[in-house]
A and B are shown apart, each in its own frame.
Chain A
Amino acid sequence: MGYAILGLLKKELLALLKDKKSRFVLIGPPIIQLLVFGYAATFDLNRVPIAIYNEDAGEASRELIARFAGARAFREAGRITRQAEIAQFINPKKALLVLHIGQEFSRDLSNHRPASIQLIIDGRNSNTALVALNYAQTIVADFNRSRAEEQRLPRPAACLEIRAWFNPNLASRWFIVPGIIGLLTLVVTMLVTALSVAREREQGTFDQLLVTPFTPLEILIGKALPGILIGLVESSFIILMAVYWFRVPFVGEIGALYLGIVLFLTATVGIGLMISSLATTQQQGLLGAFLFIVPSIILSGFATPIANMPEAVQTLTLLNPLRYFLVIVRGVMLEGLPMSLLVDQYWPMAVIGLTALALAGWLFRRRLY
């Protein structure tokens, strides 16, 4: 039996890799996408345009503006002299925010009265707006603190010091790049599996396969293994790039990560084959692939935290293998979580994988029309 399966495996791999275009699609784009997305996908603001509207002539306002212009998050996009110009910068997105310092600013400060400044932010992307606001608040708080020190003002009754664990600089790249490992691995296994049975169904060769002496289990293994193998190779490559190119730390054990990868691949390959055996045409297979890929990525916690989702949707994410895998990749790479703390992530993927594979094998014979 083992030898026969090897033949089947060889045929499946040939079907995938024989076509030059198909070979390129499997290898080229995931690598390019990791590079592009790794740099693109970040919530950190970097040189965001800020316009300055300063009506104050004093020293203090210049110092505050210098702090804004010098921050890595911001870049000065221009100076404004009239209220009406604010919209001319914000509306066409020439500036994400406008810092408005009124005429009384320096006088208020030197008279020990609260001096107020105004920040106008483009809220079309409300997350970017909140992050920018946060950076600005930090700059103002730093300004206040150093001014209090210079003037030897009494210290407040309590002072707050915040430290971030696991990611002291709050670089979201460390969070996002491990996430991209999961995304691309998912996409690659779908590329390999979602259309494979559908193609044979459409061309009629699947019927031929079913009448050979192979048992459905053997056919299932023959169809599943190439996906797992290609997924393993690609995900290993992507992890190497994440660590050596993007310099994401890897503090955990490799074994804990690879157990996760194998279980994740089993689950996604199982679902891909299930979609493929449900479909009678490749068009349907493609639709099925998208109906699986898109929700799994959006509801995985890749970009938006699962904790922010409503209860019902959170329950739905329990069916999503990517959700567990992301916890494993991030946990192992950034926090060094050991296998024992990841058991709750491993077993759901195993259950999903085995159920999906069993269903796919069952559908092989049932869906003959």
Chain B
Amino acid sequence: MSGRGLVLKTLRDQRNILIGMSAGAFLITLGILALYPQVADQFAGIELPDFYDIFLGEAPIDSPEGFLAAEFFSWMPLLFIALAVIAGTAAIASEESNGTLELLMAEPVRRRDLVLRKTLALMLVFLVISAVSLAAMVLATVVVRDFELAFTRMLSATTLMLLVVWFFLGMSLLASAALPSRGSAAAVVTALIVLAYFVNLVATLVQDLSFLQNLTPFGWADYTGALLHSMPWLQALVFVGFFIVFVVGAVVSFERRDIGAATWPVIRRGPLKPSEVAPGGEPKRAS
């Protein structure tokens, strides 16, 4: 079977996200960084209260590292994560909800290959968007006054961001492969993201609970550290490890479960509810 066809088809399905976000990320990144000279001038010599360290990290905001961490890495990854959830949950569950999955699975394609090829295509989408963001940062070092930052530092932070996005992409793919509808997959993943974000926020604000940061992916994603020092390899490996676990989980769940049946096979194995059964005894199709 032609795996390239499925990868290209998935890329084609994601072309709006790919083109829109690449263009948007490039312009927004460059636009934000263009403001750096004014911000640096405004904050030069100003000693901010310690409280601001919670939000700005160890890098001062009038430094290129601090500015990039505060104005780009504080929120842009969240946007990419949201897109990863949209694309990831659509990968399998949306095909199923739309009724095209049976047509696809009637072809000589292994379930495992279907998940892996869709995963590869979506990884490429976010790799391109991240690369475009990095390109805008590199351009900024050339055209924006005083914005001087080593390429390797920007590469480290952007790579970390990409790994975070892939982490949530993997989680979304797992939910998409294991759950019967896109809605249920998106609901589960979104709830986990909100919970993780909230826990990280509380851990950041409350000193006694700071250990909780180690339990959330948002806590592991130390962009400021990557910009100031080097690639945090341990965190990077953790993200890669979880991503692999999620994708393997997605493959296993999808291999084991029924296609086109509105059941939650991973979570519940008991009898169907009457509302899940069509006349005659067959389960209703996922919707």
The answer to whether A and B belong to the same complex is no
Residues on A close to B: CB < 8 A?
none
Residues on B close to A: CB < 8 A?
none
